[in-house]
Each structure stands twice: as structure tokens, then as C-alpha cells.
Chains A and B, each alone.
Chain A
Amino acid sequence: MSDFDFIVVGAGPAGSSAAIRLATAGSSVLLVERADPPGSKAVSGGILWGRDLDGLIPDWEKSAPVERYIDFKSTSFLTRDSKISIDFRSKKFEEKKTGYSVLRAKLDQFLALKAKAAGATLVTGITVDSLARKENRIVGVVQDGDTITSDAVILAEGANPRVAIESGLREPLRDRDCAIGIKQIVKLSEATVNERFNLTGNSGYAGEFALGYLEGGVRAGGFLYTNKDSLSIGVVIAMENLRANGSTYSYDIMEKFMEHPYVKPLVEGGRVQEYSAHLVPEGGIDSMPKLFGDGYLIAGDSASMTFSNGMIIQGMNYAIASGAMAADSLLEAAKKKDFSGAALSSYQDRLEHSQVLMDLRKFRGIDKVTWSRLVHEVAPGMMENILFSMFYEDGNPKKHLAEIILGSLSKANMKRSELIMETYRMLRRM
């Protein structure tokens, strides 16, 4: 007889979602989290996309600690002097809300308490040391020499999954599996946030940026999201390029973003309330470990379930969805009392038929686009040239758009054939 039917390691969106589903179905669940309270070690850019919580907490939109719903989505290319943006605002998002800015210290606490309310045993402030094994099958967790047993374990440790790695259930992370995320919370009044981003009520802005002005081949994306009375602003830095550069400090890139002439006025006068950093899973399907085995399942960031195409960054939605699917698979396995890898492979099937793996398969290799020289250096420079030529009135006879584009193509620091190929590859992958 096990101590618990199931143990979930990590009370983030993945772990708590799994625990909610399991406990609601009447299983005995231990949800163990090293942070105290839950969420106090979590960092996310800050937009919870999608409606995956619908199936777990029916009234979540009313009760969850969400900051603003996103009705203003923006993607920008920044060069040293310019900003080229595609802005999309729509009243449609007011009726059909699809993204909310959130702060994890609040959200994770909310989700963990929902799991507790559903009947899970929530233990916070305890770090699981390792997994308990019996004949190569995972039968529980070990902490300070004590073994707590269960029929199966869900690993939902987040982006730096120490237990999964130390147990050999996933490979150590490499440069291409992760980016470095750095973030700041900048305090502004609610009125200032509304004014600066042209927002009303509790509508919000979510902007992604390609930082095309970084030197020495360093590549980073920026993000800027509005909370109720603060901004979440940060950078996501490609590890590989930072290493190749070898002389740029990660934390300086955060400052460089904040100081860009068209970012600075947005944060001006704000007080930095918090500085944080976190790994961002990047490799998609190619970084994914085996998702199940005898007595265990891996969900959320621990399994590299994040998506970014440069225009939108998602992860919490996959975490919630995968957590719930992991729970469903365990509940199904419980009926036959079979928690072998073969029985738990239904988790993979569920994921394959869901948005999670369909997205990640379809967009395999998207990271090669989002981190490409084309996106970060060539395209922003070209667009700047084109737009500047279009709008700069020098008194000379005007040119056709095609002429301008051809002109800027020849100025681009990339062979034309390569540029065409890269652009084609980009469009195909996006």
C-alpha cells in the first residue's frame, strides 16, 4: 500500500493542474513544492494564453488573480534608432478573452490552494531530493532519507528540472534547449499604465520585440506586458549566441532594452520593484525528453513544452494542459492498476492529439527562425531602410516601393539568394 496514490513534484501551473484533476477524481495526491509559498520561486514573462483552466476551475476568470486581459498585441523590431511594429488591437478580444497578464507569485498560490481545496495534500517549503525506485520503476520520492511512496509520480518541476535530470529521466540541458530570461517588474500607477499604452478598463498590452541593435552577434528578444499597476518587462537571451560572443553580460542586455529610445518613455518614472531571472525552454520538440516511463510522467516546462514564434510566447497554457492530461492518464491507468510505461503511454497519445504536441511538431525548428540572423539583424535593418526611404522627404523625385526594396536589398548585409532562402524558410516554419 502506497502512502499516496500519486505524488506531484512542483506546484506550478502544470503540477497544480494535475493535482486538481487527480484530487477532484477522488485520488489521494501529494503536491510537494520547494517554494514557500508556491509561486515565490516562479518567473514567467507573464501572459497566460488560452482557456485551458476552463476544464479545471470553472470560474477561474472571476476568481483567479489575473491582471489584465490582452486586447492589444504588438510585435516590434527594434534597431538602434527605430521601431517597426505590427500592432493588432481588437474589440473582439473583449468578448472572447484569450490572454491575461499574470504574476506567478499570485497565480501559483491560487492554483495550489485550488488543489488543496480539491483534496490534495499540499506541502510547501520542502525540496524533493530524488525519486524512489523499485526494480527500475519510480515508486515515490525521497526527501532527507525518508521515502514517500505512490503508484506514480508526475514531475512538474519547471524549466530547471533537477530531480528529472539527476534521476536520468531527462538529459542535462544544453545551450539550444534554453534561453536566459531576465525580467523586471516596474511599478507605475494604474492611470499611467492606461495612458501610456492607450488602455481602458482592465484591457492590457502584450508586446514582443526583436532586439536588432545588439552588437557582436548577441541575440535577444524583449517583452513588455502590462499588469494592473505595473509592467512586466524583460529579455530572453539565446545562450548559444551569448556564448559565441563571449564578452557581453546577460544583465546588461536587460538595461539595453530598457534604454532603447522607444522603450524608455514607456517605463520612465517607474520604480523597479523586482528583478528576476529564469530559464526559458526553447528547443521545442527537439529538446523534449521521453515523457513517460514506469511509474512517472513529465509535464510542463520540465518537458520543454513552450512555444515561441517571436510574435507570441506560450508555456503556461501547455503546462496546464499537459498537467491535466498527465492526470487523466494516471486516472485511466488506475482503473487497471497498471502504472507501467506501456500503460502510461496514453499520456503521449493524449498530447499528440492535443494542441501541445501538434503545435510543437508543426513548429519544429521554429527556434532556428526566431533566433536567426535574418530576424534579428537583417530584416530590422532592411525594414528600417525601406520605411525611412519611404517617409523621408528629401526633395528628390520619389521612387516606387519596388525600387526602394531592391535598393535596401542590395544594402542588406546578406547575399540576395541567402536572403530569399532564409525568408522562405522563415515563412514556411512560421
Chain B
Amino acid sequence: MALEIVVMVKQVPDSQEVVIDPVTMNLNRSLTRNVTNKADENALEAALQLRDEVGGHVTVVSMGPPQAESTMIECLARGADRAILVSDRFFGGADTYPTGLTVASAISKLEKVDVIFAGEESSDSSTGHVGPGVAEFLGMEQATYVSSVKYADGFIIAERELEDGTEVIKMPTPVLLTILLNANVPRRQTLKRKIAATKQGYEVWNLEKLGMPPEWVGVRGSPTIVRKMRPIKEKERAAKRFEIDQIPDLVRELFEIGALKLEEMQ
């Protein structure tokens, strides 16, 4: 059984270089270089591992500007079979709703899809919306915060890391999985594969190719309105040392500053 696997990836500003313009409160992109979103690298690796085990193909789908070229080549150089960049100026300024819709529309153009992988969230907006959104738009089952994936007889067995433990779920394909950051160690790109990737190239799909009405995509299709941005004031922190026999004093102080409250037992 060959699995047709899709991985959703995004190019994001290098979080170590992010500079916020103090006036506009926007990202100063001129000083920031782009990289592939870390969790998406983990999603790609999970997809490649699944393909290598079960057989099939991995197609990378990304929505973004032409600069995302480096991410597309990188994904191919790590082992993806095909890369599609969904790119059009109409897509600019999209919030997570039209982004999900656009990516879902692109994926629906593929002949067959068994499993879709996405990173748990992107490091630049951290919503975690787009993966689940795509699953909804495609009417597909989904599992979020997945740390490991197996496949057997038409079913995906995924482990989800939750606050109170690990959940193991078995779901029939097609299914969308969002993969946790650092869920695995992404394989390295190799020179040979990167040369091949550069020669193979990637596909660019525009609005026309997707056949979507322009009012559904980009800033026009975005229900979010940003009214105001403000920096969050960092709360002042303090540290104080208490010896074991001073714990009553500690409790008293915590009461006084309101950090501790007594709740009446029902």
C-alpha cells in the first residue's frame, strides 16, 4: 500500500532575529531572514519516516511569497518527492481562515491524499489554527499535538502528548495530524539531494490554478481585524528566600499579596 502524504510547511522569520519596530509594533522584516518553521521540519520528518516505512510519496505544500523558494528546495533536499508553493499576491495578508481554505483548496487538487502532516503551530503567529482548519475544510479526521505515528491496514495510530498523559488513537485514513515541535530529529539535507532538488524545482500554483474567488482569499477573505497592538509590560519579579521553619511566614505573605486565597469547602 502506497500512501499519498502531504506536508504543510511555512516559511517564517528566524525567531532568533526577530526585531519589533517600536513605533508600528510590526515585525521589522528588513532585519530578519526567513527559515523553515521548526515544527514543520518535524512534520516533514514524520512524513518521510512514514513513507520510508510504508511506501508512497510525500508532497510538500506551502503558501507564501516567492522567497519561500529556499524552504521548498530544503524540503525536497530532505527527501520530499514533490513541492508546491501556493503563491499569488491575492493571498497576501491572509489570516488563518483563508490560509486554511487556500491550502485545503490546493490539497484538494491532488489526486489522492491519505495523510496530511502539519507542524503544531508556526513560530511567527503561534495560532495552531491552520492545520485543524484544513482538516475541517476537507472534511477530514484530525489529531493534534502528535508525537509519533504508525500505519497499519488503513489506520493511522498516533500518540498525542496531552497535559495529563499520552493518548493513543487509531483513526482511519484520510487523516490530518499536527506534529509537535521536536517530536523527532529531522534528517539532514544532502548535497546530492539538494542538487537534484534544485534541478527538479518546485511548482508554483496561483489563484487561477486553484480556481477560488478572489474575495475568499488573502486580506479580503480574512475575518480578523487588528484594532490595536500593544506591548505587554513585563511584570516585575522578585525572589525571596525562606527557611523551612519560616513557612508560616511565607504562607502569610502570600495571603497578604493575594497570591493565595482560601476557598470555602462545599
Q: Which residues of A contact B33 (CB under 8 A)?
A: 37, 40
Shortest Cβ gap from A113 to chain B (Å): 11
Candidates B70, B74, B191; contact of A32 at CB < 8 Å: B191
Q: Which residues of A contact B188 (CB under 8 A)?
A: 144
B192 at the binding interface (Cβ < 8 Å) = yes
Candidates A40, A123, A125, A128; contact of B195 at CB < 8 Å: A123
Using known A-B contacts A37-B33, A125-B74, determine if residue A143 contacts B191 with beta carbons closer than 8 Å. yes
Q: With the chains together, A144 CA to B191 CA distance in Å?
A: 8
B127 at the binding interface (Cβ < 8 Å) = no
Residue interface bits B62-82, CB-to-A below 8 A is 1, else 0: 000000001000100000000
Q: With the chains together, A3 CA to B33 CA distance in Å?
A: 31
Q: Which residues of A contact B191 (CB under 8 A)?
A: 32, 123, 126, 128, 141, 143-144, 146, 148
B194 at the binding interface (Cβ < 8 Å) = yes
Q: Which residues of B contact A30 (CB under 8 A)?
A: 195
Using known A-B contacts A37-B33, A125-B74, determine if residue A144 contacts B190 with beta carbons closer than 8 Å. yes
Shortest Cβ gap from A295 to chain B (Å): 18
Q: Which residues of A contact B192 (CB under 8 A)?
A: 143-144, 146, 148
A82 at the binding interface (Cβ < 8 Å) = no
Shortest Cβ gap from B21 to chain A (Å): 15
Candidates B74, B189, B198; contact of A121 at CB < 8 Å: B198
Q: Which of A1-58 contact B (CB under 8 A)?
A: 3, 30, 32, 36-37, 40
Q: Which residues of B contact A125 (CB under 8 A)?
A: 74, 189, 194
Q: Which residues of A contact B199 (CB under 8 A)?
A: 121
Interface size band for A: 10 to 19
Q: Which of A324-370 contact B (CB under 8 A)?
A: none
Q: Which residues of A contact B194 (CB under 8 A)?
A: 123, 125-126
Q: Which of B156-200 contact A (CB under 8 A)?
A: 188-192, 194-195, 198-199
Shortest Cβ gap from B76 to chain A (Å): 12
Q: With the chains together, A157 CA to B191 CA distance in Å?
A: 16
Q: With the chains together, A124 CA to B188 CA distance in Å?
A: 13
Task: From A122, A123, A144, name the one whose CB has the most chain B CB atoms within 10 angstroms.
Answer: A123
Q: With the chains together, A144 CA to B77 CA distance in Å?
A: 13
Shortest Cβ gap from B187 to chain A (Å): 10
Q: With the chains together, A37 CA to B35 CA distance in Å?
A: 10
Q: Which residues of B contact A121 (CB under 8 A)?
A: 195, 198-199
Residue interface bits A138-153, CB-to-B below 8 A is 1, else 0: 0001011010100000
Q: With the chains together, A40 CA to B198 CA distance in Å?
A: 21
Chain B residue nearest to A126 (CB atoms) is: B191
Candidates A36, A37, A124, A146; contact of B190 at CB < 8 Å: A146
Shortest Cβ gap from A5 to chain B (Å): 14
Q: Which residues of B contact A143 (CB under 8 A)?
A: 190-192
Chain B residue nearest to A146 (CB atoms) is: B192
B189 touches A126 (CB 8 A): yes
Q: Which of A121-179 contact B (CB under 8 A)?
A: 121-126, 128, 141, 143-144, 146, 148
Shortest Cβ gap from A234 to chain B (Å): 21
Q: Which of B1-48 contact A (CB under 8 A)?
A: 33
Chain B residue nearest to A128 (CB atoms) is: B191
Q: With the chains together, A123 CA to B191 CA distance in Å?
A: 7
Q: Which residues of A contact B195 (CB under 8 A)?
A: 3, 30, 121, 123, 148
Task: From B33, B188, B192, name the one whose CB has the most chain A CB atoms within 10 angstroms.
Answer: B192
Q: With the chains together, A122 CA to B73 CA distance in Å?
A: 11
Q: Which residues of A contact B74 (CB under 8 A)?
A: 125
Shortest Cβ gap from A315 to chain B (Å): 25
Shortest Cβ gap from B72 to chain A (Å): 14
Shortest Cβ gap from B18 to chain A (Å): 14
Given contacts A144-B190, A146-B191, 14 further A-B contacts (CB under 8 A): A3-B195, A30-B195, A32-B191, A37-B33, A37-B70, A121-B195, A121-B198, A123-B194, A123-B198, A126-B190, A126-B194, A128-B191, A143-B191, A144-B188
Cβ-closest 9 pairs across A and B:
A143-B191, A146-B192, A144-B190, A126-B191, A123-B194, A121-B198, A126-B194, A148-B191, A123-B195
12 residue pairs A–B, Cβ–Cβ below 8 Å: A121-B195, A124-B70, A125-B194, A126-B191, A126-B194, A128-B191, A141-B191, A143-B191, A143-B192, A144-B188, A148-B191, A148-B192
